[in-house]
Amino acid sequence: MRASRLLTMLMLLQTRGRMSAQALADEVEVSVRTVYRDADELSAAGVPIYAERGRAGGFQLLDGWRTKLTGLTPEEAQAMFLTGLPGPAAELGLGEAMAAAQLKLITALPADWREDARRVSSRFHLDPAGWYRGADRADRLPAVARAVWSERRLRLTYESWSGVVARTVDPLGLVLKAGAWYLIAAVEGGARTYRVSNILELEATEEAFTRPADFDLAAFWTASTARFEAKLHRDEAVVRLSGRGFRILRQEAAAAVVEALDRAETPADEDGWRKVTLPIESVEHAAGQFGRLGAEVEVLFPLALRERMTEAVRRLAALYGA
């Protein structure tokens, strides 16, 4: 544990430069007193670490000093091979680079770790696309990725729900969600999300932009998806679900619906049916969703949704009545 902590401190100082004792303590989850003690141990081991006092002070390594230690444990080396998704890397134009990096990592590992690392990619496969659908087309993705990396503005023609629009954007990051790539870009003073497959035309400019220092891609995506789901599910429906309908809906529905199913407290009746309240986007969308369950669901409320389901049943009866 202590050796791992010392390596972590060493890597932090090597990658980030000067850090205060409090910042180091927060990163490695120890007290400031322990940080000072660990710094003394690193120094005693020959690591050129020194401290500067004052408001802008902190610990840092001697300029130009680097360690060749990777600090990898066997489990961390295996995780590196598990996270290297060949499909997304190829879509980004990094397939060959990823293969070369993995080869170099294999070569650098101790001999008794190499087979374990190779075994990971042969026994675990990550498929980011959802069921019953393929991944989005990604022909424009490499150009978008280069603009993200080089911080160059993009001019794009984009097909949204409301129509086709033209935008000049500052590309901040890319997110892969269930087989679909999304560009997060700054435009008109705020960050917006664009589905890459909906980009009709794309022009990479030579105009540079300054990426906001405080922009956190993961935090933005988490917050924006939560807002999106909350905005979608504005209404509620009360339904009765058979045991089979309950299982099917839980496997195929959106996260908000699954959460409502998991929170349902009404016990099943003697026939296995349960009464639950579920969030819905709209009457029309819910009618299509519940229609796929057939006779495994009965809508009780709202009446507009129940009437829509009744009308769908009448039409089906008329179609198959002959």
Q: Does residue 178 lie in a domain region? A: yes
**Residue 305 pLDDT more than 60?**
yes
Comparing 125 with 262, the larger pLDDT belongs to: 262
Q: Are 20 and 48 contained in the same domain?
A: yes
* Half-sphere exposure in the Cβ direction for 289 (13 Å, CA): 22
- Give the CATH number for residue 31: 1.10.10.10
Q: Are 261 and 316 contained in the same domain?
A: yes
Give me the mean pLDDT over the 152-173 stretch: 92
pLDDT band (50, 70, 90) for residue 147: very high
Residues 88 and 291: their CA atoms lie apart, in Å, by: 35
**Residue 120 pLDDT more than 70?**
no
Strands 274-280 and 235-241: antiparallel
Predicted pLDDT at 235: 87
Q: Does residue 68 lie in a domain region? A: no
**Residue 164 pLDDT more than 70?**
yes
Residue 260 belongs to domain spanning: 233-320
Give me the mean pLDDT over the 278-298 stretch: 91
Number of structural domains in the chain = 4
Q: Does residue 244 lie in a domain region? A: yes
Q: Does residue 179 lie in a domain region? A: yes
Q: Does residue 259 lie in a domain region? A: yes
* pLDDT 10s digits, 179-219: 788 999 999 878 999 999 999 999 999 999 999 989 999 99
Classify residue 295 by its DSSP letter. Answer: G
Burial of 151 (0-12, 13-18, 19+ CB in 10 A): middle
Residues 74 and 100: their CA atoms lie apart, in Å, by: 20
Q: Are 312 and 239 contained in the same domain?
A: yes
Q: Does residue 131 lie in a domain region? A: no
In the block, tokens 């049916």 appear at: 273
Q: Are 85 and 152 contained in the same domain?
A: no
Predicted pLDDT at 128: 67
Q: How many CB atoms lie within 10 A of CB 126?
A: 11
* pLDDT 10s digits, 244-272: 999 998 888 877 788 888 888 889 899 99
- Give the CATH number for residue 156: 2.30.30.520
In the block, tokens 């529905």 appear at: 253
Q: Are 52 and 81 contained in the same domain?
A: no
pLDDT band (50, 70, 90) for residue 81: low
pLDDT band (50, 70, 90) for residue 229: confident
Domain end among 161, 181, 215: 215
Residues 135 and 86: their CA atoms lie apart, in Å, by: 13
Q: Are 307 and 240 contained in the same domain?
A: yes
Q: Are 147 and 211 contained in the same domain?
A: yes
Q: Are 289 and 238 contained in the same domain?
A: yes
Residues 293 and 270: their CA atoms lie apart, in Å, by: 20
Q: Does residue 225 lie in a domain region? A: no
Q: Shortest CA distance to 22 belongs to which of 10, 35, 11?
A: 35
Comparing 295 with 84, the larger pLDDT belongs to: 295
Comparing 310 with 98, the larger pLDDT belongs to: 310
pLDDT band (50, 70, 90) for residue 295: very high
Q: Are 14 and 44 contained in the same domain?
A: yes
C-beta of residue 152 within 8 angstroms of C-beta of residue 209: yes
Q: Does residue 81 lie in a domain region? A: yes
Domain end among 215, 247, 271: 215
Instruction: At 122, list the tokens.
Output: 């042969």
Tally the residues of the chain: 322
